[in-house]
Chain A
Amino acid sequence: MAYTDDEILAGLAEIINEETGLETDAVQLDKTFTDDLDIDSLSMMTIAVTAEEKFGVKIPDEEVKNLVTVNDAVTYIKNAQS
């Protein structure tokens, strides 16, 4: 069973909220992790590893730095599901 874009976005927002305290509403597709959401590289790793578990996908460490916007992450996770 694959997750929809909306489900992935909502799941990511929850993970980000848990890790950084950021409100889930603030996590939108066009936001960048570093500049808009102020998420540092350590938190980004935690978010990626937690997302792996939640969505049953693999996000290699070297891919994490390519995920600039929330949309990048949603797209990556969606494609990795298949």
Chain B
Amino acid sequence: MSARSVVVTGMGATTPLGGTVASTWEALLAGQSGIHTLTHDWVTKYELPVRFGAELAVPAAEVLKKVETKRMDPSAQYAMVASRQAWQDAGAPEVEPERLVVAIGTGIGGFTTTLNAWDTLREKGPRRVYPLSVPMLMPSSPAGNVSIELGARGGARTPVSACASGAEAMALGMDLIQSGRADVVVAGGTEAAIHPLTFAGFSAMQALSTRNDDPATASRPYDTSRDGFVMGEGAAIVVLESEEHAKARGATIYAELAGAGISSDAHNIVAPEPEGAGASRAMTLALEQAGMSTTDISHINAHATSTPVGDVAESNAIRAAFGSDADGIPVSATKSQTGHLLGAAGAVEALLTIMAIRDRIAPAVRHITDFDPAVTIDVVRGEHRTLPEGPIAAMDNSFGFGGANVALIFRSVA
């Protein structure tokens, strides 16, 4: 049985490093940091222990119409910005509306809208609550809005698995195309959670870096002094398409989405299973689906959020899945520059994995001065690493609270 191949024909993003995929990639390779001290009045008003984050390099309001920013929560706004880019990049494919699906994951959804509506209710009463509050706050709002924009009638789907959501949306898109239920899927993740409540909540669980005096280097995966992740925001979207459909219309193909593995730890709602058993199983499942062995992988973009426990657990998981073959695989951790985009993280890193394959560059992990000896994988330190010529494949790992694990494999196309 030969499954239908799934290829990437369009990409779009808005991230803390840039307002597009190209500018994000360029800033990443140049070593820039998207992490800055926050200037919102609520930072001092609530005396938050963490005063920095990774906000969009290009605010959505500079790209969207004013009425769009009023009628969509920021999580949907970012998804719309990235989806329009991806769709144009793919050449606005002609596709039967019923065979076009939108799948956009989010970890948290439109909760800025939720909280604003709650404030309005308490301060001004029920009649003043904005009538679009509910359709703005629901997590399916990004997918719903983009499906309307593109006329997609095959489904508006919203995978929700915390920080694995964006990657899971791509896995879903792959399934839908492989099983013959869709020809084109606009897939990815979005998050807009830079808000005092998320800072307070993540701080209360001591998940965030508190390096207020040096925000730009606060995200330092694999360094012994890493002290938590840095909150980011943004969206990243790909256009997935059956190879047959893409070739028939002469589309430019960036890469093949060759495999996706999904597992759950069933261990702890927050902490990863320390040996990375669940995460390694997701990687192995992705390899199996791609029909690949561990030696076929030339690069890994790790989840690596810069937390003391998580980075080592993932290192253990990669070791468990790849054994001694992990020795020669350059591992990048792009959150060192983007921060952690929660539900959009897996999607942003999928795009960066595709760019790594295209340009044959495994980006250096920034801000490592004292490499953690507990990390046993081949982390790219110092200079970028060049990836081999010829056909190659690369893996993108994403993990989320709730024990969610997603591994994606992208393969170069000739």
Residue in A closest to B68 when the chains form the complex, CB atoms: A21
Contact residues of B with A, CB < 8 Å?
A: 65-68, 70, 127-128, 130-132
Q: Which residues A6-42 have CB closer than 8 A to chain B?
A: 18-21, 42
User: Closest CB-CB distance, A64 to chain B, in whole Å?
Assistant: 11
Count the A residues whose beta carbon is within 8 Å of the partner chain — how many? 9
Provide the A42-65 mask, 1 if CB < 8 A to any CB of B, else 0.
Answer: 110110010000000000000000
Q: Do A19 and B127 have beta carbons less than 8 Å apart?
A: no
Question: Is A21 within 8 A of B67, CB to CB?
Answer: yes
Closest CB pairs A-B (n = 8) = A21-B67, A42-B131, A45-B131, A46-B131, A21-B65, A20-B67, A49-B127, A49-B128
Let me know if B132 and A18 touch, CB within 8 A.
no
Q: Is the CB of B128 within 8 A of A19?
A: no
Tell whether, in the assembled complex, residue A46 and residue B67 are in contact, meaning their CB atoms are under 8 Å apart.
Answer: no
* Chain A nearest Cβ from B244, distance in angstroms: 40
Q: How far is the CA of A20 from the CA of B127 in the complex (A)?
A: 19
Q: Are B67 and A42 in contact (CB under 8 A)?
A: no
- Inter-chain contact total with CB atoms closer than 8 Å: 19
- Cα–Cα, bound, A54→B127 (Å): 15
A residues within 8 A CB of B127? 49
A51 CB → nearest B CB, Å: 13
Residue of B nearest to A53 (CB): B128
- The residues of A that contact B70 with a CB separation of less than 8 Å are 18-19
Docked pose: A49 CA to B128 CA in angstroms: 7
Most chain B CB within 10 A, of A18, A20, A49, is at: A49
Compute how far the CA of A45 lies from the CA of B126 in the bound complex, rounded to whole angstroms: 13
A49–B131 alpha-carbon span in the complex (Å) = 10
B132 with A42: CB separation less than 8 A: yes
| Distance in Å: Cβ of A44 to nearest Cβ of chain B | 9
**Chain B neighbourhood of A18, CB < 8 A:** 66-67, 70
Known: A18-B67, A18-B70, A42-B132. 6 other contacts (CB 8 A): A18-B66, A21-B66, A21-B68, A42-B131, A43-B131, A46-B130
Q: A43 contacts which chain B residues (CB < 8 A)? A: 131
A34 CB to nearest chain B CB (Å): 16
B65 to chain A, nearest CB (A): 6
Could you tell me the distance in whole angstroms from the C-beta of A19 to the nearest C-beta in chain B? 7
Shortest distance between the CB of B125 and any CB in chain A (Å) = 10
B68 partner residues in chain A, CB cutoff 8 A: 21
Docked complex Cα distance between A42 and B67 (Å): 14
Q: Which residues does chain B contribute within 8 Å of A45, judged by CB atoms?
A: 131
A4 to chain B, nearest CB (A): 26
Question: For B67, what are the chain A residues with a Cβ–Cβ distance below 8 Å?
Answer: 18-21
Give the chain A neighbours of B66 by CB distance below 8 A.
18, 21
Write the chain A residue with the least CB distance to B135. A42
What's the Cα separation between A74 and B344 when bound, in Å? 46
Distance in angstroms from A60 CB to nearest chain B CB is 10
Bound Cα distance A42, B136 (Å): 13
Closest chain-A Cβ to B79's Cβ sits at a distance in Å of 19
Question: Which residues of A lie under 8 Å from residue B65 when comparing CB positions?
Answer: 21
Q: Which chain B residues lie closer than 8 Å to A49 at the CB level?
A: 127-128
Closest chain A CB from B73 CB (angstroms): 15
Tell me how far the C-beta of A35 lies from the nearest C-beta in chain B, rounded to whole angstroms: 20
Q: Min CB distance, B263 to chain A, in Å?
A: 42
- Can you list 7 residue pairs at the A/B interface with Cβ under 8 Å? A18-B67, A42-B131, A42-B132, A43-B131, A46-B130, A46-B131, A46-B132
B156 smallest CB distance to A (angstroms):
19
CB distance from B113 to the nearest CB of A (A): 14
**A20 CB contacts on chain B under 8 angstroms:** 67
Q: In the assembled complex, how far is the CB of residue A27 from the closest CB belonging to chain B, in whole angstroms?
A: 14
Complex Cα gap A46–B131 (Å): 7
Q: How many Å lie between the Cα of A57 and that of B128 in the bound state?
A: 14
CA distance A27 to B293 in the complex (A): 65
Cα distance A46–B117 in the bound complex, in angstroms: 13
Q: What separation, in Å, do the CA atoms of A18 and B65 have in the docked complex?
A: 11
A18–B68 Cα distance when bound, in Å, is: 10
Q: Which residue of A lies closest to B67 (CB)?
A: A21
Query: How far apart sit A20 and B128, CA to CA, in the bound complex (Å)?
Result: 17
